[in-house]
Structure formats: C-alpha cells, structure tokens
C-alpha cells in the first residue's frame, strides 16, 4: 500500500480512510454489509476526532517493512480491538464477533445463536458451505470490543498505543528505520524477562508511543517455514491432531513445546479437556497471568461446576462480554472490565451491580483479587505461535528438532524447576 512520505499534510486521514475501505471491500465485497460498515465508520470517526490517523499510517510503515522482508509479526495489545487496524494489516486479528464470509461471492452469515457465547472465537465455529456458490466459507472474528482499546467515547485515547512482537532478526532493522524516519523519535531499549525472550523497544515522540517486543519464537517459526516450505499463514487452527499435543500428560513429561515449560501449565490443563481453540486461549491466560484461580486460597474456584475451561474467565474482554450476556449495562460492564484488568479491585457500587445481576460469588471474589488481566489479542498471538510450533512438531518433526537445536533449545538447557529439558519425537 502506498503511503505518502510526509504525514503532516491534510490528506493523512483520507489516506487512512482509502486504505481501510479498499481492504474492507476486498474482503467483504461491495456493498459492505452494515455489520462491518457501522463498526468501521464509528472507529474512523473516533480516529479523526483526535487526529490519530498519522499514528496509524506510521504503524503501517513499520509492519509493511516486516512483511517486505518476509518476517512475521503479531499485535499483542488492545490495538487488535480496532477493525481499522485489521483492514490496514496492522494486526491479523479480526475484532468483529465470529462470523462466516465467502471469499468468492462475498456472502456473509452469522453463526447459529446456540453456539455463540462470550468466549467463542472464529476457529470454534463448525465448517460451513456457502449456500449461494457452494464454496467453503471462511471463519473470522475474535469478538473484541473497540472500547477495550479506545474507552467509552475515546476516554483512553491518551493511553492508546500499539504493541507488537517481531522476529528478533528484525530488531536492528526496526531501530534503524525509526531513527532514519524521524530524528525526533527516541527508542528506549530494555531487556525483558521470560528467559531473554523479549527485548522491549519503546518508541515514542510527542504524538506516538509504540512497544515493539522481539520474540525469538517468531524467528524459530520463520526458520521452520523456510525449511519445510509451509507458510504458517496457511496452517489450520481447527486441527484435532494439533490440539492433542497440548495434553497435560505431555506437558508434565516435558514432551511439549518450548513455550509451555511451566509447572502451572499441566496443573491447569490436567483439570480440563481442551477441545477447541478458545479452550487454549482460556488456559493460556490462566497460565500466564497473575491469576487468583491458581492460588491456594482460591482452590474452590477450580471446583465450581464449569462445563468448560472458558468459564474460568482470565481474559479482560471476556469479562465485559460475559457481563453483557448477563444483562449488565454496557457502561458497568466496561468499567468492571477496566478495574479488573488493572488490578484495582471492585468498589462497593460495582459489586452490588454484580450481585443484583446474580453473578456467581466465585467470579466476583476472583475478579476483586486480580492484579492484572491480559488483553485477548496478546493471548491469541501467543497461542497462535504455540499452535504453529505444535503443527511443525506434529507433521515435520525432523525439521522441528533441527531448528530447535539451531536456536539452542536442545541440550543442556534446564527449566525453572532445575530439570534438564529433552524434546521427544
């Protein structure tokens, strides 16, 4: 996509508008359905109101650079709540509610009501044939409210910024490009935790702020793509043979994936059977977060009568969606989500609203104890990476272990319990 070098001109918003609408038409056809168009118009109105178009365009340049070099990236912040960001290819996570669309005739269909729940994502939907042209329909949508990024009426715009993970090969390229593009931008570099997995490049000037995390697992996937000839974008997320690799016994026996060496991983997964992609999202959120579900004081949370692991809510947007399902007002649902994800606890007024709506005690008590709750996009990106690793392990085991050895993930590495790690074929 062509973006003018000068972003300080009057055509900035028009450029963003054109990019977005063209992509919407390519994906959903013409005329664009109201299901899509209403969300796009609302977001563009908010973006124009606070002059955020140049921020979007700067970010497009960043991700375009990654794609031009053949490297993968993932959005890990609440920016994936923006449908405009999706159409601009800033994120590959469609925030609309789960739905079907036909890439051939552009027919769009919503799923049956009985399979729509607050946790449902596109990959949970059963396959569907287009009734108009007979082609297999595409499943899309992860159900992320725009307000989780923007707030109600744009109240969070001062704090809204984009966060990405990139393959570590791009680290120097990203830094050099930003410094060459605008000398007023300061890049603050710090090394994160997670066994050296992350390098945090905080890019900021008077108008923008972006976090760029460098993820070695995306570099591993890049190498696996080159060695196997299989692009990770072509991998199906509805493969039952892949989800079997996340079995708790394999985690406990250290026969799993590099991302999942964690005591709490198999402790959580041993309690539930994972049958679909959203189960993995919920499990991953519980594994990674400062979750009261895992503390000794809250073991009763695990004994609550749950039909699915998804009912142990550990993703911030799912808090809001769950409350909306239970007839909590939109404003109350939003502010409860915000207080829970920040670890602020619940004030007496909001607690009363929850009890009045017959929300179970276990939810209220656990949400009041959360210290931080991750955004859905961050969890989706992590699980997609883990899923793709599992795919290559299942179907291309020789290539999988060759690449792991290249990245020094086989041999004398030990996990946090002091146990030597071995990868079994």
Q: What is the pLDDT of residues 367-398, one digit of tens each?
A: 888 888 889 988 898 899 889 999 999 999 99
Q: What is the pLDDT of residues 95-141, one digit of tens each?
A: 999 999 999 999 999 987 767 788 899 999 999 999 999 999 999 99
DSSP H or E segment with residue 109: strand 108-109
Question: Tell me, what's the pLDDT at 313?
Answer: 86
Q: Is the pLDDT of residue 419 over 50?
A: no
Question: Which pLDDT band holds residue 421 (cuts at 50, 70, 90)?
Answer: very low
Question: Tell me, what's the pLDDT at 301?
Answer: 47
Q: Which residue has the tokens 């690793």?
A: 389
Question: Tell me, what's the pLDDT at 335?
Answer: 93
Minimum mean pLDDT range among 14-18, 25-29, 275-279: 275-279
Q: Which of 2-6, 134-138, 208-212, 268-272 has the highest average model confidence (pLDDT)? A: 134-138
Residue that wins the pLDDT comparison between 336 and 300: 336
Q: What is the pLDDT of residues 137-186, one digit of tens each?
A: 999 999 999 998 888 876 665 555 667 666 666 666 665 655 554 433 44
Question: 374: closest CA among 293, 315, 319, 294?
Answer: 315
Average pLDDT, the chain: 78
The span from the CA of 218 to the CA of 214, in Å, is 9
DSSP 30-97: SSPPHHHHHHHHHHHHHHHHTT-HHHHHHHHHHHHHHHHTT--EEE-SGGGG-HHHHHTTS-S---SP
Residue ranges of domains in the chain: 12-96+141-216, 290-373
Residue that wins the pLDDT comparison between 4 and 120: 120
Question: Tell me, what's the pLDDT at 260?
Answer: 54
- Enumerate the H helices of 229-302 as residue ranges: 240-243, 248-252, 263-269, 277-288
Q: What is the pLDDT of residues 230-249, one digit of tens each?
A: 999 999 999 988 888 887 66
188 has which bridge partners?
202
Helix (H, G, I), strand (E, B) or coil at 214: strand
Question: Tell me, what's the pLDDT at 138?
Answer: 96
Could you give the percent of the chain with pLDDT greater than 90?
36
My answer on whether omega of the bond before 324 falls inside 30° of 0, hence cis, is no
């Amino acid at each position: 996509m062509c973006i003018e070098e000068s972003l300080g001109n009057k055509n900035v918003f028009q450029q963003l508008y054109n990019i977005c609408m063209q992509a919407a038409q390519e994906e959903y056809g013409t005329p664009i359905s109201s299901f899509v168009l209403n969300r796009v118009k609302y977001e563009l109105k908010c973006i124009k109101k606070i002059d955020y178009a140049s921020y979007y365009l700067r970010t497009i340049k960043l991700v375009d650079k990654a794609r031009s070099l053949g490297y993968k990236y993932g959005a890990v912040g609440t920016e994936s709540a923006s449908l405009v960001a999706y159409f601009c290819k800033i994120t590959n996570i469609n925030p609309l509610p789960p739905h079907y669309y036909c890439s051939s005739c552009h027919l769009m269909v919503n799923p049956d009501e009985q399979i729509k729940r607050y946790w449902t994502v596109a990959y949970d939907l059963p396959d569907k044939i287009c009734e108009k042209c007979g082609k297999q329909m595409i499943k899309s949508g992860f159900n992320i409210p725009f307000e989780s990024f923007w707030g109600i009426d744009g109240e969070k715009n001062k704090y809204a910024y984009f966060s990405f993970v990139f393959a570590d090969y791009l680290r120097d390229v990203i830094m050099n490009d930003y410094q060459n593009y605008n000398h007023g931008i300061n890049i603050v570099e710090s090394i994160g935790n997670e066994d050296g997995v992350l390098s945090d490049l905080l890019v900021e000037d008077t108008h923008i702020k972006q976090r760029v995390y460098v993820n070695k697992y995306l570099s591993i996937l890049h190498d696996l793509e080159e060695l196997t000839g299989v692009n990770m974008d072509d991998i199906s997320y509805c493969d039952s043979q892949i989800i079997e690799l996340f079995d708790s016994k394999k985690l406990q026996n250290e026969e799993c994936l590099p991302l999942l060496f964690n005591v709490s991983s198999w402790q959580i997964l041993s309690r539930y059977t994972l049958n679909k992609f959203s189960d993995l999202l919920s499990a991953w959120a519980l594994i990674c977060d400062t979750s009261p579900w895992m503390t000794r004081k809250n073991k009763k949370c695990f004994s609550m009568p749950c039909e699915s692991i998804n009912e142990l809510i550990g993703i911030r947007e799912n808090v809001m969606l769950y409350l909306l399902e239970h007839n909590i007002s939109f404003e109350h649902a939003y502010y409860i989500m915000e207080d829970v994800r920040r670890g602020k606890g619940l004030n007496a007024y909001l607690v009363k609203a929850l009890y009045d709506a017959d929300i179970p005690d276990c939810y209220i008590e656990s949400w009041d104890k959360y210290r931080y709750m991750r955004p859905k996009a961050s969890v989706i990106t992590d699980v997609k990476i883990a899923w793709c690793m599992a795919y290559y392990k299942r179907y291309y085991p020789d290539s999988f272990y060759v690449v792991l050895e290249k990245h020094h993930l086989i041999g004398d590495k030990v996990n946090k319990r002091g146990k030597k790690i071995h990868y079994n074929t």
